[in-house]
Amino acid sequence: MEYRNIAIIAHVDHGKTTLVDGLLKQTLKLGHGEEIAERAMDSNDLEKERGITILAKNTAVEYKGVKINIVDTPGHADFGGEVERVLGMVDGCLLLVDAAEGPMPQTRFVLRKALELGLKPIVVINKIDRQDARPEEVVNLTFDLMAELGANDDQLDFPILYAISREGKAFKELDNPRDDFQELFEMVLEKIPAPVVDLEAPFQMLVTNLDYSEYLGRIVLGRVQRGQVKKGEFVNLMHKDGTMSKTRVVQPFTHLGLRRIEVDTVGAGDIVALAGIEDAQIGETIADLADPEALPIITVDEPTVSMTFQPNTSPFAGKDGKYVTSRHLNDRLKREVMTNVSLKVEEVRPDEFIVSGRGELHLSILLETMRREGYEIQVGSPQVIIREIDGEKHEPVEHLVVDVPEQHASTVIGVLASRKGQMVNMEPQGTRTRIEFKIPSRALFGFRTQFLSMTQGEGIMSHIFDGYAPWAGEIKVRQNGSLVSMEDGPAFAYSIWKLQDRGSFFIDPATEVYIGMIVGENAREQDMNVNVCKNKKLTNVRSSGADEALTLTPPRRLTLEDALEYISDDELVELTPKNIRLRKKVLNPSMRK
């Protein structure tokens, strides 16, 4: 059988997952009668809720007797580890670019990785039905970006398609639209090279992803580089430390649509799954028993942000969660590191772990997943990972792109300059302005909320790790102190009403609070201890109009990301399956002083 292996790469929200849905619908309806749901590739609950792809996933379609393996990759730079390892499995890529937005920071990131691996892109200008679409200009911007990233002549001579993925259309010429993806399929067969297949050579496959099944245990995914392997056959698993272990392939699978299909043999050129190889880690080689030969290990960019994870120690610990001890936490983090290649975990003390990842979003997705699984954890504020280069302190820097209504541009520039951001480019686009900055990663902690209020919810921002630069000095990210509870018990509406002019609250009346729990944000710089557990003293001497209704300002509801952005160095976020609370590291007010 003939194969084509392609990855779909793009900036977040440019339509990768929607395109894959369309490809699946058009081929499976024809051949297999399988119904496809909206955004079928985003299988994880968090992906469905947030509308983003977190895990790289693969599927396959058949067209004119050729099997096309498709890998849908995340657009967020925080999940770059996912992108880097899957690009090694493919021979070409579809680069999706929004017809209005043009190339964005993550487009640059994923494209650079693809070009370095020598992949030839097919450029798909998507969403050409948008009112502000400018397809011709976006093609030129994409060409400029490729030239800037050092693409060779072959890569620069890229084929172009125009698409409306939502409607399942792609075509070569703007003035000759079609109603299906036929021209896209034809172009993949014509332009993407078929893998070199040698079925007689000794078996060799690199593990690029791991999955788990209740019945079969660990499942390894990857592309077979050469040879073939049969069900029940023994193979060598070649570990990263140079050792080898003999293991048996219990069941090989291949993909079609959203299903894994059990087969007796899998061979070179295909992207497959093997069950039964229990100790495999990402980046290791599964090789022939008689003639084992290792493939190069996958390297992934280093983490840039870290947080401390601890089991919950607050007075409310153990009320909501199933897993509350440091042993539970340790086991869960060890399991995560096996599949999450760009994550690092270091045990500092028996009950304290430093977890490092590619960004705040990367770590917050892990926290949200653990919380839903029944873990109780408390985490410190995100910290950037500092490096010593030539005896000088260097910190991670981001390339930030903001797209704002023109009347808000000067305010945004002012705030980013105060956070040590350097403007590198600015271009007006109709009634909006796009501005690019180089800015220290830590300056962006807590910025998103402020950015949305400055631009009245109309601003779009995206950023990507750009390398290390000398330490930029002190950056004041948070202007206000916290309102901290000085009593245990339920909060009363009366005391919240009395304290409303002191700041904004995060809690409702009747919320249970403890000493040292953060209940709101102070209007001033310092922290302030408040008593929200005091009710109105009722006497029997009272005029009829004295008990007027209390009008309370609705509390600020903090999401997990908001909470992580809000806390300062002496504060923690306490996460349980039912609650997100903020607290001081030292609960007792007299000890805090």
384/86 Cα distance (integer angstroms): 27
Binding residues for GTP: 13-18, 126-129
Residue 570 lies in a domain: yes
Same domain, 407 and 463: yes
Q: Which residues pair with 365 in a beta bridge?
A: none
Binding residues: 13-18, 126-129
7/288 Cα distance (integer angstroms): 27
Residue 365 lies in a domain: no
Q: What are the residues whose beta carbons fall under 8 Å from the beta carbon of 192, sequence distance 6 or more?
A: 4, 5, 6, 91, 92, 120, 122
Looking up residue 209, the CATH number of its domain turns out to be: 2.40.30.10
Which tens digits make up the pLDDT trace of 210-248?
Answer: 776 667 777 888 888 888 888 888 888 888 777 888 888
Q: Is the per-residue pLDDT at 449 higher than 50?
A: yes
Q: Is the per-residue pLDDT at 108 higher than 90?
A: no
pLDDT (mean) for 79-106: 75
pLDDT (mean) for 177-196: 83
Q: Is the per-residue pLDDT at 381 higher than 70?
A: yes
Place of tokens 């890998």: 71
Sign of CA dihedral 582, 571, 373, 339: positive
What is the structure's pLDDT at 78? 43
* Residue 141 main-chain phi, psi, to 5 deg: -65, -35
Same domain, 170 and 34: yes
More confident site: 228 or 479: 228
Q: What is the amino acid identity at position 53?
A: T
272/147 Cα distance (integer angstroms): 34
| Local structure of 198: helix, strand or coil | coil
Going by pLDDT thresholds of 50, 70 and 90, the confidence category of residue 297 is: confident
From start to end of 446-550, where are the E strands? 460-470, 482-485, 489-490, 503-505, 512-513, 517-522, 528-530
What is the structure's pLDDT at 406? 85
Is the overall model pTM greater than 0.85, yes or no?
A: no
Same domain, 505 and 451: no
More confident site: 585 or 260: 585
Looking up residue 416, the CATH number of its domain turns out to be: 3.30.70.240
Highest mean pLDDT: which range of 128-142, 368-382, 532-546: 368-382
pLDDT (mean) for 498-515: 89
Same domain, 516 and 400: no
What is the structure's pLDDT at 311? 93
Buried-exposed string 101-132: b where 16+ CB fall within 10 A, e elsewhere: bbbbbbbbbbbbbbbeeebbbbbbbbbbeeee
Residue 330 lies in a domain: no
Check: CB of residue 484 under 8 Å from CB of residue 286. no
What is the structure's pLDDT at 485? 92
Same domain, 48 and 134: yes
428/145 Cα distance (integer angstroms): 19
What is the structure's pLDDT at 484? 92
Angle at CA of residue 86, ends 355 and 367, nearest 5°: 25
What is the SS3 string spanning 417-448?
HHCCCEEEEEEEECCEEEEEEEEEHHHHCCHH
Helix (H) or strand (E) segment spanning residue 453: helix 447-454
68/161 Cα distance (integer angstroms): 18
Q: What value does the mean pLDDT of the chain take?
A: 81
Same domain, 247 and 395: no
**Whose CA is closest to 305, among 384, 395, 399, 393?**
384
Which tens digits make up the pLDDT trace of 144-158?
Answer: 888 888 888 888 888
Residues across the chain: 593
Same domain, 446 and 495: no
pLDDT (mean) for 419-445: 86
What is the structure's pLDDT at 518? 92
What is the structure's pLDDT at 43? 41
What is the structure's pLDDT at 16? 63
Same domain, 535 and 400: no
Check: CB of residue 69 under 8 Å from CB of residue 4. yes
182/189 Cα distance (integer angstroms): 11
Check: CB of residue 247 under 8 Å from CB of residue 187. no
Q: Is the per-residue pLDDT at 395 higher than 50?
A: yes
Residue 307 lies in a domain: no
Going by pLDDT thresholds of 50, 70 and 90, the confidence category of residue 513 is: very high
Q: Which residues pair with 522 in a beta bridge?
A: 503
pLDDT (mean) for 397-424: 87
Whole-number Cα distances in Å, 177 to 20, 137, 166, 170, 253: 20, 19, 15, 8, 38
Of 37-46, 267-276, 285-294, 470-479, the range with the lowest mean pLDDT is: 37-46
What is the structure's pLDDT at 517? 93
Residue 573 lies in a domain: yes
Look up residue 28 and give its two tokens: 């499976």
Q: Which residues pair with 449 in a beta bridge?
A: none
| Domain endpoint, select from 225, 256, 287 | 287
Place of tokens 């790469």: 9
More confident site: 12 or 525: 525
Same domain, 409 and 552: no
Percent of the chain with pLDDT over 90: 10
What is the structure's pLDDT at 188? 86
Tell me how many domains the chain contains.
Answer: 4
| Domain endpoint, select from 236, 262, 287 | 287
Looking up residue 515, the CATH number of its domain turns out to be: 2.40.50.250
The residue range of the domain holding 458 is 387-470
Which tens digits make up the pLDDT trace of 551-571?
Answer: 888 898 888 888 888 888 889
Residue 507 lies in a domain: yes
Q: Is the per-residue pLDDT at 379 higher than 90?
A: yes
pLDDT (mean) for 264-274: 85
What is the structure's pLDDT at 102? 80
Same domain, 176 and 213: no
| Local structure of 593: helix, strand or coil | coil
Within 13 Å, how many C-alpha atoms sit on residue 355's CB side?
A: 31
Same domain, 187 and 269: no
Which tens digits make up the pLDDT trace of 25-78?
Answer: 777 654 444 444 444 444 445 444 444 433 445 778 888 888 888 876 654 444
Residue 292 lies in a domain: no
- The DSSP-derived string for 339-404 is H-TT-EEEEEETTEEEEEESSHHHHHHHHHHHHHTTB-EEE---EEPPEEETTEEEEEEEEEEEEE
pLDDT (mean) for 415-432: 85
Same domain, 538 and 435: no
Q: Which residues pair with 425 in a beta bridge?
A: 436
Looking up residue 183, the CATH number of its domain turns out to be: 3.40.50.300
| Domain endpoint, select from 470, 498, 515 | 470
Percent of the chain with pLDDT over 70: 87
Residue 477 lies in a domain: no
